[in-house]
Amino acid sequence: MHPATLFIMGALLMPWLCRMKLKNAVLVIIPLVAFLQINMLPESFGHVSWMGFDMVFGRVDKLTYVFLHVFTLMAVIGSLFALKVEDWGQHTAAWLYVAGSLGVTLAGDYLTLFIFWELMAVASTFLIWYRKKKKSIEAGFRYLLVHVLGGLILLAGIFLKYRATGGDLTFVQILPTDAGLADYLIMIGFMLNAAVPPIHAWLPDAYPEATVTGAVFMCAFTTKTAVYVLARGFPGFEALAILGAIMALYGVAYAVIENDARRILAYHIVSQVGYMVCGIGIGTAMAVNGAVAHAYAHILYKALLFMGAGAVLEMTGRSKLNELGGLYAKMPLALIFTVIGGIAISGFPLTSGFVSKSMIIAAAGEAHRTGLLLMLTLAAVGTFLSVGIKLPYYIWYGGKSEPSVPEAKDPPACMLWAMGIAAFMCFFLGFYPEYLYRMLPHAVDYQPYTAYHLSETLQLLGFTGLGFYLMVKKLGPEPKMNLDLDWFYRKGSIVFMVFASGPLSRVNDWVGEVYRSIGLAWTMLTAKALSWFDREGIDYVVDGTARGVVDTGDKLRQAQTGKIQHYIGAAAVLLFGIMIVVILL
């Protein structure tokens, strides 16, 4: 069975499961079954011929497996975190979203990929809308429109690919020297989901407005599924290497100046995915391995950070740093887990970020890409400054001795268990990186724990911490809005609405008036003519034929006298007539 089938079936049955009080058990069992099932998948399955297309729903290799592994593991953690949510719609949307991601990961052709790609976009939109606030509804519409645009660009590339290849839509690696317009359109469609600037602003616009549990799922799947398809199809493209390094710096620069906790984390998704995109663009075996390993690690520690920020929002109703502080005694477990996520994303030794991020930086050095190496290293400094120090400090301390929300407390047990599993994985991968390295697609000998690397990392982290201590007053959060490139489509939507309610509306009214005065009259005249033809032509022929058949039947009935001698005589005359015809001919 395709792993996505389990989540689709569970999503469709969720309303009844909630009524039957089986929700919690199913929320744990189905993700666990999917997590175990991926070890039993054959290399190829689900081949379907449909309308002339050869669709492959299951293609499994090492690259596929590592993403299936972390996606199903994240489904377990996310579903456990969401156990207290009674709104079945959120669970349905989350599981359809997971199913779409698994479908994309296993797809062996572009048509199958596109179907699951759009399922992801639609399902994840509801995770924003289910927060049921005005800003969330507006952000959800913007998110959906942006992803519909990305889907159309992807579909245009698929159409051109179908035409150029004579109908072959197999999803395979594209060499930079062989890439054409179709391939670049497909890559742009993938890049939009990866939040590559300048088509990234949908992410910090939408993720902070999602539900508490919805944001945990969203931080794990959309961008990392995009990383998977880029690693599958476009390794070695120079544009990805450059844009990825720009992403790493761009995201961290905004995160440093942000005030909202979940917007800080959203911008850090842009930054951390930049490392992955850059590694794919470098294209060497170690760089691609680093991108894949960092995707695996990032899903876990970013989910942990979103769970920590979400727990604070759930228990206090606040997410802005200037409104928080002094919660260290009220929410100690949430503090510990969030700090673990912060040090993991910062690349502390013995955490998952240290063993994954460093592989990409080392690959940039091996490829003699000094500029990229410096940009990625600088982004690492900003990461520790904004998420490793600033975020937990201003939420739990912030110079306040009294809690900003006196009634705050640690979240429910299911949330803490989910955070605990993610925190454990952050340390497990740091202590035992071979567990992750064995799953990577290429065989590369890389040792993260060298004296040079440890010394370099500790120096960077130490000086960054010293800088925060010296500049803590200047880095304090301020209640302000930071403009990003989403300004253009926000203002563009206003211009569109003015155009739609002005000139376009008047044109629509004019067309309607023309139809009412001319088009409707011609329509009625045509209808009357067709009615006359039906009545006087078709009905006349049909009714006349029927009347003829009835008259002939009446005459034949009159010929039946009921006397046997008449029938014998008629038969003799008929036989005599036939004999004459035969003789004459």
Mean pLDDT by 10 residues, the chain (585 residues): 92 86 90 94 88 87 95 96 91 96 95 96 96 92 93 96 89 92 96 92 93 94 96 95 95 90 94 95 95 96 95 91 88 94 93 93 92 92 88 86 84 95 96 94 88 87 84 76 74 72 79 71 74 66 62 60 58 63 58
How many alpha carbons fall within 13 Å on the CB side of residue 504? 7
Looking at residue 252, what is its pLDDT?
92
Q: How far is CA 116 from CA 76, 220, 479, 530, in A?
A: 20, 16, 39, 47
Instruction: Measure the CA angle with vertex 310, ends 309 and 314; round to 5°.
Output: 125
Looking at residue 571, what is its pLDDT?
59
DSSP code, position 54? E
E strand or H helix that includes residue 45: strand 44-50
Residue 170 φ/ψ, nearest 5 degrees: -60, 135
| Beta-bridge partner residues of 56 | 47
CA distance 329 to 401: 10
Residue 339 φ/ψ, nearest 5 degrees: -65, -40
Instruction: Measure the CA angle with vertex 257, ends 253 and 258; round to 5°.
Output: 110
Angle, helix 62-81 to helix 285-316, in steps of 10 degrees: 10
CB 251 within 8 A of CB 269: yes
CA distance 105 to 296: 14
CA distance 493 to 167: 38
Q: Which candidate, 39, 116, 127, places its Cα nearest to that of 78?
A: 127
E strand or H helix that includes residue 57: strand 53-59
- The residue ranges of DSSP E strands in 496-536, in sequence order, are none
What are the helix (H) ranges across 199-351? 202-206, 212-233, 238-257, 261-282, 285-316, 332-345
Rounded to two decimals, what is the model's pTM? 0.84
Rounded to a whole number of angstroms, the distance between the first and last alpha carbons of the chain is 75
